[in-house]
Amino acid sequence: MSNTNPLDSQIYRFVTRPRQGNDPRSASLLADAHTLGLTAVQRLDCLDIFFIEGTLAPSQVAQLASNLLSDPITQSVEWGRLLTGAPGSKSPGYHVIEAALRPGVTDPVAEQIVRSASVLGITGVQRAAVGLRYEVYGETLTEDDLLALARRLLVNNIIQHFTLGEIEPAFPQAAQASGQVEALPIRSRSDDRLLALSEERRAALDLAEMQAIQQYYQAIGRDPTDVEFETIAQTWSEHCVHKTFKAAITLTQEDSPDASEKTVISNLLNTYLRAATQSIQAPWVRSAFVDNAGMIDFDDEFEVSFKVETHNHPSAIEPFGGANTGVGGVIRDVLGVSAKPIAATDILCFGPPDLPLDHLPEGVLHPRRIRSGVIAGVQDYGNKIGIPTVNGAIVYDPGFTANPLVFCGCIGIAPKGSHPRQPLPGDRVIVLGGRTGRDGLRGATFSSMTMDGQTGEVSGASVQIGDPITEKGLIEVILRARDARLYHAITDCGAGGLSSAVGEMSSQTGAEVELQHVELKYPGLAPWEIWLSEAQERMVLAVPAENIPALRSLCDLFEVNITDIGAFNDSQRLVVRYAGQVVLDLHNEFLHNGIPQRQLQAVIRTPAIQSDAPPGLAHIPPTNANHPPSIRSIPSHNPLSKMLLSLLAHPDIASKADVVHVYDHEVQGATIIKPLIGKMNDGPSDGAVLKPLAGRGRQAIVLSNGVNPQYGKVDAYRMALSVVDEAIRNAVAVGADPQRIALLDNFCWGDPKRPETLGELVQAARGCYDAALFYQTPFISGKDSLNNEYLGADGQRHAIPPTLLISAIGIMDNFEHTCSMDLKTAGNPLYLLGEHQHAWGGSHASLLAQTSPTQGRPPGLPQQAPQIYQTLHQAIWRGWVRACHDLSEGGLGVAAAEMCIGGRLGLNLVLPDDDPATWLYSETNGCLLVEVDASHAQHFEALFSQLAIRKIGMVSSQPRLQVTCLDELAPCIDIPLERLLQAWKGDSR
Amino acid sequence: MSLNTPVKALILHATGTNRDLEAARAFEMAGALPEIVHLNQLRRRERRWEDYQILTLPGGFSYADALGAGKLLALDLQAFFTEQVTSFIASGKPVIGICNGFQALVKAGLLPDSKHLANNHSAHRQQATLTFNANGRFECRWVHLAPVSPHCLWTNGLQEIIYCPVAHGEGRFVLPDPGDAQQLAQQNQIALVYAQADGSPANGVYPLNPNGSILDIAGICNPQGNVLGLMPHPEDHIFPFQHPRWRRGASGGLGLHLFQNGVNFIKQ
């Protein structure tokens, strides 16, 4: 594309305009502008711009305009040669802002324009670009207003450039492939200069690591090339190697009587997470902590895989692209275990949507904008690639303002034993999928650093936009290649790009790669950029030479790029060439095992607990019920009702229907317990159940999650216990067999170099271990994202609350034994199962009552919980249970209200004593509300006779929630269903 | 045709198609022999149009919906297959376009009526469009569909309301002149409309009518009645347990009947 003749090649500019005034896209932007306080904007029209460069006859330009670039019914189109410097403004009060993608940002539409022009028989098109034109009207608008509108709403500087007036497209500069490799003198550097080099190249390596590199090169008698240094930095990054979880941690207990008492943990991952799995020895676990995703048995024929990743840093600076590629990345993880992706999950943590603008740290996007961008990014990728998004959560806290969290999960299914894992010497190194550009350079090290106001500008290249349709092509090709047994190993290109993918695959063998064979998006990339690029939608396969023709023909059919870049061998070395010249030559042993173990200090602060106590002893007796928040201080004629309605309206608890409906949760036809459920399809399901089309039997997959940063702020250990419990409880509530549930951990934390922060991480890992053993649920996969901190212009550190996401995957043998949370039939009794713990620490009631969050601890694990779940599962299996819902944020009151909403029925609750606030709004683990078929009530009670069970109410045909205290006549709460609905749903439908 | 000869349904796969497996499953359940065929296999003549009795354009995001949903698949149909598709339709064989497939049929000028040719006569002229939902958002939710055309072979004889999900961002059916919609209605070309649970009209009320289509149009057929295009996904409700309220004992409204109609039309 660089060989255009400037004499006959022209850039044409096309603008399409909706024919009718009521364009939804423009209307929604105008509303957003007003929300941002830009009320001087009276009208805003959003138009599409296309730029096409080529040698074209006038009739061809007209044909492109009318047949390709516009819809004849709804749009008009105007076009002409690109004129630079056109003012754009036509009359007073009327202004134009135009935006276009920065050069090199993935632009699938532009690629389709070039392809489709040739379908139309127009061969002279060389390249294309797209942009957006905003026609803004406002009598009093100033230039400052327009700049604010552009920066705060219309344009993201990271991926777009804009101008007031007409814009020119920015194509990547045509440059000669440099082939340039730089040697980095390292052997004689002082410690200070070693650290300076790490900083200069944004390598995020510490002194010990830099010294290890120095020693290696001193021993082999040369200096590293830039390709080698960057490769080591990526391979040794927190993101790739999880060095904090593998560090040697010296632990001290704050306020310990013996201050010299220290414990050393050699490896958090092995000590707590892997250890739990090894100790439980579940026979149905097929792969834990080994592959790109964890795997468990599904039925006799299939196994399922599950992986959850985070994409926090990229989402902070470019929410759409960050979330978009987060989804794309985790789908590739599942594809990387040769499985068909069948469902996606997403759990999102944002700053408060109503954060005042002047509270926003410099360089940080407003939480509303991050939220809408992230949700649009998840929607775009999942919907387009055809994978249903079936489970998730959204929580808000000021701690996530600068560091939003985006957890993306993907579930896959594959025939048992169909995933090959070992490349053989002689196998070709094959790259499938997207072409390589400068996208996402140094993403792995970027994600391992604290961000500041400059991060967006410096790391702009780390952000990518996804191309789900290219990844869809990968799915089509790889599943067929797997069934034809065409490859010996496969992995995805994630952080670190080819360096990490090829490096990992050849770590037991060796490989040679020629970078000049890699297909590029545009020329001019230095060798290290090609090798490290995190361009999306690529997979690396080890393919025996004799299978290449078959793989090529599959790629040809599905229009997927395939490139042979080298071969695996048994040299135990990784050798990379560019145009024949060796640019990297490293021993596997050094690259993969040469990283020194980090030595870290952790301090455990009180009020954390001695967690080596056997699980179950963490249970706190109800007498230790701390201090209820001063609910009665809330002004209202009925503080109890007011609290319930406020809880239902809290953004963490309120209906997520507006988000659920923009995700396709039905594609693939397997979602049999849906995210919204009940009489009007709007109740909040505890989990999702999938019955995959592939499975021939009655087995089904259950998905659920637990996350609670409010608990994390108070007590990381208890948070871990609680979120493990909640994930399991949610799964059991919809029908999972408690003995067939596996867990995934995702730790999102601040900077682990701070001993207190690391202490909390240790406590959470301990909590995972204790809870996993308590419930006998193994961990099969996990991931950590550390350094979620933001260094503000004020010099203050803004760290996230310690946040642990536990995702649960359960298998049930018969999908008929599922259960939903909506009340079914008036007259049925309602039971409270489990020991209610009356805990207030980190509760949403405390949050609303603005009690100090550290007042009291979050709940622990009630001793009977495992038995309760097992017994409940039996009752569901016998068909006695009509509805079942877990008690989580907002406690029993919220759970009961949600059950009423789901079934559009009423409830009469009778509380055991005269402390309704505690029963209704304190929080607890291990408890569920269960509607039981009246004709089986006796059987049900008998089944639970040795366990904590309390008949607490009755389903009523009167559409109201009534709560009465024992021995009192008048209800303390009596709220019509309509009011509950209004509080919980707002305007959403 | 002999009862023993399988009815072969071509499920057309283009880059970005993603509900092809569900469509195949629906046709299998309806008694046909579905085959997912990539557009490139037809271009290379590895598969022949005339070997199939039913043509299905399934849902998905062909070419990422770039430049408008279904637009570039429509362009492929016009550029490579105008003759084959025209003769498939003219022969009276059942053709169904679901969601993205409907968008492609409309943008290729094959619906509402393939008799209008473009100026250069090389392809059909686009007479209507499917554009962004009135609320500007993608919508995945369950809708009730009333089959209202006795004329369309796919909906003919269906008594029951179909209950199935929509999942689209560009599903609002638009005609150049609103009066054209009345004409479609008079010609029995409106095959399926968004309705209330009891079958009474949605009357444009969101979310019963999820996208703001004129006259609650969810699906239309050609004047001959053999080509149906619809936005919702009847292929996602072919088993009772896919019903959102099967745990409440709800049943019925299966989309399967639509596919059975198409297959039975060939078998009879």
Is pLDDT above 60 for A624?
no
Q: How does DSSP assign B57-72, residue by residue? A: E--B-GGGGTTSTTHH
Q: Is residue A438's pLDDT more than 90? A: no
Interchain CB distance below 8 Å, B65 and A691: no
SS3 per-residue string spanning B21-36? HHHHHHHHHCCCEEEE
| % of chain A with per-residue pLDDT over 70 | 91
B59 contacts in A (CB within 8 Å)? 667
Query: Where residue A621 falls among pLDDT bands split at 50, 70, 90?
Result: very low
C-alpha distances (whole Å) from B92 to each of A324, B151, B223, B227 are 43, 13, 11, 8
Chain A residues close to B103, C-beta within 8 Å: none
DSSP string, A884-908: EEE--TTHHHHHHHHHHHHHT-EEE
CB contact, 8 Å: B22 with chain A? yes
Name the nearest CA neighbour of A732 among A786, A657, A678, A673: A673
A214, two tokens? 């120095």
Contact flag B79-A667 (C-beta cutoff 8 Å): no
Give the model's confidence band at A461: pLDDT under 50 very low, under 70 low, under 90 confident, else very high: low
Please tell me if residue B141 touches chain A, with a CB cutoff of 8 Å: yes
Nearest CA in chain B to A69: B67
- pLDDT at residue B2 in the model: 55
Q: Which residues in chain B are contacts of A824 at CB distance < 8 A?
A: 248
B161 shares contact with chain A (CB less than 8 Å) = no
Band (A174; pLDDT cuts 50, 70, 90):
low
Does the structure show a pLDDT above 70 at A115?
yes
Q: In this predicted model, what pLDDT tens digit does every residue of A40-51 receive, in sequence order? A: 999 999 999 999
Question: Between chains, do A559 and B40 touch, taking CB under 8 Å as contact?
Answer: yes
A888, A837 Cβ separation under 8 angstroms? no
Q: How far is B1 from chain A (nearest CA, A)?
A: 31
d(CA A390, CA A61): 44
Is the CB of residue B27 less than 8 Å from the CB of residue B259? yes
Chain A residues whose CB is inside 8 A of the B241 CB are 672, 691, 815
Using CB atoms, which residue from A119, A469, A822 is nearest to B61?
A469
Lowest mean pLDDT among A35-39, A563-567, B79-83, B184-188: A35-39
pLDDT tens track for A919-929: 999 999 999 99
Put simply, whether B60 touches A (Cβ < 8 Å) is yes
In a domain, B1, yes or no: no
Question: Which chain B residues have a beta carbon less than 8 Å from that of A383?
Answer: 61, 138, 167
Q: Which pLDDT score is estimated for A607?
A: 57
Q: Is residue B155 assigned to a domain?
A: yes
Which of A557, A673, A693 is facing B41, going by the closest CB pair? A557
Structure confidence at residue A629 (pLDDT):
45
- Does position A617 have pLDDT exceeding 70, yes or no? no
Dig out the tokens for A913 from the structure: 């004593």
Indicate yes or no: CB of B61 within 8 angstroms of CB of A384: yes
Angstrom distances, CA of residue B147 to CA of B86, B187, B189: 26, 15, 11
How do residues A573-606 score in pLDDT, each as one tens digit?
999 999 999 999 999 999 999 999 999 999 998 6
Mean pLDDT of A177-190: 87
pLDDT at A616 over 50: no
ipTM: 0.97
Determine phi and psi for A625, rounding to 5 degrees. -80, 15
CA distance B2 to chain A (A): 30
The predicted-structure confidence for A935-976, as pLDDT tens digits, reads as follows: 999 999 999 999 999 999 999 999 999 999 887 888 999 999
Confidence of residue A62 (pLDDT cuts 50, 70, 90): very high
pLDDT > 70? residue A453:
no
Q: What is the pLDDT of residue A445?
A: 54
| Of the candidate ranges A418-427, A478-487, A489-498, A609-618, the one whose mean pLDDT is the lowest | A609-618
Q: What are the distances in angstroms from CA A338 to CA A297, A478, A499? A: 15, 7, 21
CB neighbour burial string for A646-657, b if at least 16 within 10 angstroms, e if fewer? bbbbbebbbbbb
B:107-136 residues touching chain A, CB 8 A cutoff: 107, 126-129, 131-136
Q: Is B66 on the interface with A (CB under 8 A)?
A: yes
- The chain A residue lying nearest B239, using CA atoms, is A669
| Interval A375-385 mean pLDDT | 97
Q: What is the pLDDT of residue B161?
A: 97
Partners of A667 on chain B (C-beta within 8 Å) are: 18-19, 22, 59, 167, 236
Which of the four pLDDT bands, split at 50, 70 and 90, describes residue A157? confident
B152 is a domain residue? yes
Residue A89: band (very low, low, confident or very high) from pLDDT cuts 50, 70, 90: low
Nearest CB to A693; choose among B25, B138, B241: B25
CA distance A69 to chain B (A): 6
- Of the partner residues A23, A74, A819, the one whose CB lies closest to the CB of residue B174: A74
pLDDT value of residue A478: 98
The H-or-E segment that residue A558 falls in is: helix A548-558
Residue A373 confidence (pLDDT): 94
Q: For position A849, what pLDDT does the model report?
A: 83
What is the least distance, in Å, from the CA of B215 to any CA of chain A? 18
Query: For position A693, what pLDDT does the model report?
Result: 85
Task: Check if B67 contacts A (Cβ < 8 Å).
Answer: yes
Please state, in angstroms and rounded to a whole number, the distance separating the CA atoms of residues A678 and A902: 5
Residues of chain B with C-beta less than 8 angstroms from the C-beta of A116 = 63, 67, 72, 75
What distance in Å separates the CA atoms of residue A536 and residue A465, rounded to the nearest whole number? 8
In chain A, whose CA is at the least distance from the CA of B72?
Answer: A116
Element (H, E) at A806: strand A803-812
Which of A25, A389, A469, A686 to probe by mutation at the B interface, max B CB count within 10 Å? A469
Dihedral sign (CA A602, A608, A612, A615):
negative
Report how many domains make up chain B.
1
CATH, residue B21: 3.40.50.880
Task: Choose from A168-177, A523-532, A938-947, B4-13 the range with maximum mean pLDDT.
Answer: A938-947
Residue A238 pLDDT > 90: no
Q: DSSP 3-state assignment of A109? A: helix
Catalytic residue set of B? 99, 233, 235
User: A10-18 and A43-54: which strand pairing?
Assistant: antiparallel
Residue B115 lies in a domain: yes
Contact list in B for residue A536 (CB cut-off 8 A) is none
Average pLDDT over all residues of chain A? 90
Q: Residue A176's pLDDT band (boundaries 50, 70, 90)?
A: low
Which phi and psi angles does A384 have, rounded to 5°? Answer: -70, -35
- List strand residue ranges (DSSP E) for chain B, in order: 8-13, 33-38, 54-57, 95-98, 129-131, 139-147, 162-168, 172-174, 190-195, 217-221, 227-230
Q: Hey, are the CB atoms on B68 and A661 less than 8 Å from each other?
A: no
Nearest CB among A120, A386, A557 relative to B75 is that of A120
Position A799 scores a pLDDT of 87
Domain-located, residue B3: no
Query: Is the Cβ pair A559, B21 closer than 8 Å?
Result: no
Cβ–Cβ gap B134/A668 under 8 Å: no
On whether the CB atoms of residues A576 and A227 are closer than 8 A, the answer is: yes
pLDDT of residue A447: 54
Average pLDDT over residues A149-171: 89
pLDDT at A79: 92
- Would you please indicate which residues of A are annotated as catalytic (active-site) residues? 239, 311
Please report, rounded to a whole number, the percentage of residues in chain A having pLDDT higher than 90.
Answer: 76
How does residue A170 score in pLDDT terms, banded at 50, 70 and 90? confident
Q: Which among A467, A556, A824 is the nearest to B248, CB-wise? A: A824
d(CA A326, CA A475): 17
Tell me what pLDDT residue B30 has.
Answer: 97
Chain A residues closer than 8 Å to B12 by CB: none
The rounded distance, in Å, linking the Cα atoms of A945 and A939 is 10
DSSP-derived secondary structure letter, A623: G
For residue A231, give both structure tokens.
């490769």
Residues of A in contact with B248 (CB under 8 A): 678-679, 820, 822, 824
CB-CB under 8 Å, A73 with B128: yes
Phi-psi region of A869 (alpha: psi -120 to 50; beta: other; left: phi over 0): alpha
Closest to A319 (Cα-Cα) out of A365, A379, A363: A365
Model confidence at B183: pLDDT above 80? yes
Handedness of CA A145, A147, A148, A152 (dihedral sign): positive
Q: What is the pLDDT of residue A628?
A: 42
pLDDT of residue A795: 78
d(CA A540, CA A429): 7
β-strand partners of A707: A805
Lowest-pLDDT range of A32-36, A100-104, B7-11: A100-104
Residue with tokens 């792969």: A287
For A320-350, how does the pLDDT look when each residue is reduced to its tens digit (9 = 90+)? 999 999 999 999 999 999 999 999 999 999 9
pLDDT in tens, A241-263: 889 999 999 999 887 666 667 88
The minimal CB distance from A664 to the residues B68, B76, B140 is found for: B140
Answer whether residue A829 shows pLDDT above 90.
yes
At B228 the three-state DSSP class reads strand
- Shortest CB distance from B15 goes to which of A109, A559, A668? A559
pLDDT (0 to 100) of residue A451? 54
Tens digit of pLDDT for each residue in A894-917? 999 999 999 999 999 999 888 899
DSSP for A922-968 reads: SB-SS-EEEEE-GGGHHHHHHHTTTS-EEEEEEEESSSEEEEEETT-
| Domain of B132, in residue numbers | 8-267
Q: All domains of chain A, ordered by start, with CATH?
A: 10-164 (3.30.1280.10), 177-246+425-449+488-590 (3.90.650.10), 604-985 (3.30.1330.10)
Parallel, antiparallel or unpaired: strands A960-965 and B33-38:
unpaired
The chain A residue lying nearest B41, using CA atoms, is A557
> In 3D, which of A804, A814, A824, A852 has the Cα closest to residue A936?
A824
The shortest C-alpha distance from B168 to chain A (Å) reads 8
Does the CB of B48 have a partner CB in chain A at under 8 Å? Answer: no
**DSSP secondary structure letters along A369-384:** HHHHHHHHHHHHHHHH
The band of A455, judged by pLDDT with boundaries at 50, 70 and 90, is very low
The reported pLDDT for the residue numbered A967 is 79
Residue A223 contacts residue A217 (beta carbons within 8 Å): yes
